[in-house]
Copies of this chain bind each other. A is one copy, B any other.
Amino acid sequence: MSAPPPPRPAGTGPYRPTERTVPTRSPHRAAYDRDLVHAILDEGYVCHLGFVRDDAPVVLPTLYARVAERLYVHGSTGSRPLRAAGLADPGLPVCLTVTHVDGLVLARSAFHHSINYRSVVVHGLAYDVTDPGEKRQALDALVDHVVPGRAADSRPANKRELAATAVIRLDLTEVSAKLRTGGVNDEPEDLALSHWAGVVPLTRAYGTPLADPALPAGTEPPEYLAAL
């Protein structure tokens, strides 16, 4: 059972803050800009999906993809515990979080050590995707989220595979970003201390693609991999 997919037109303007998307700590780091939220979501590979089972929280890493104002979360979360928690109407309360670590902030004081990061937190109700058309679109989005352009260059899922794959849907409605950027925030009286202070940037690095041994010798990686 699942709720029918309601229309989700492309959103405009910032997300509307709610009680649970306004942080009580460092509220100046919160942001609701739609393009910023989309960019953070689109840059990640894995989200952390939280739900409640037997009154206790469960947080699982899982693949996801964004289609306009909707997120799709992949199959491994279709495992028994999540299903047991319930994905039928009125939907399963979830919290989906995506985080990028951009730098290590080394202050002169232990207290002001920090990291630069960008995160998005989405609250909402998750539903099982049962409509075959929507499921196929979601699976394409999941593949293209890993490598843009890849869905069109792979063998599409057949009926058996579609049936074996669970996809859940979460609308982008109650959403916030949180960011820490920039340099060190030391106390003025600490500036004369001799400790080095600064930021160590962190980025993601892609290694040389490792071809499957069963590929014919000399098969070149596709061009869309070069864009990574």
Contacts and interface: CB of A to CB of B under 8 A. Distances in A.
A99 B193 CA distance: 36
Interface in A26-84: 26, 45-46, 48-53, 55-61, 63, 76, 78-81
A59 B55 CA distance: 15
Contacts of A5: none
Interface residues of A, number: 97
A154 interface: yes
B104 A154 contact: no
Contacts of A52: 52, 55-57
Interface string A175-217: 0000000011010001101011111111111111111111100
A176 B97 CA distance: 21
Interface string A97-123: 101010110111111010101010101
A58 B95 contact: yes
Contacts of A195: 153-155
A11 interface: no
A201 B190 contact: no
Interface of A: 20, 23-26, 45-46, 48-53, 55-61, 63, 76, 78-81, 93-97, 99, 101, 103-104, 106-111, 113, 115, 117, 119, 121, 123, 139-140, 142-143, 146-147, 150-151, 153-158, 161, 164-165, 183-184, 186, 190-191, 193, 195-215, 219-222, 225, 228
14 contacts: A24-B80, A24-B81, A49-B59, A59-B96, A60-B121, A61-B119, A108-B155, A110-B143, A113-B146, A153-B195, A154-B195, A184-B212, A198-B212, A201-B206
Given A79-B25, A154-B109, A200 B205 contact: no
By DSSP majority rule, is chain A's interface helix, strand, loop, or mixed? mixed
A157 B117 contact: no
A136 to B, nearest CB: 9
A161 B110 CA distance: 9
A20 B58 contact: yes
Contacts of A156: 110
A110 B161 CA distance: 9
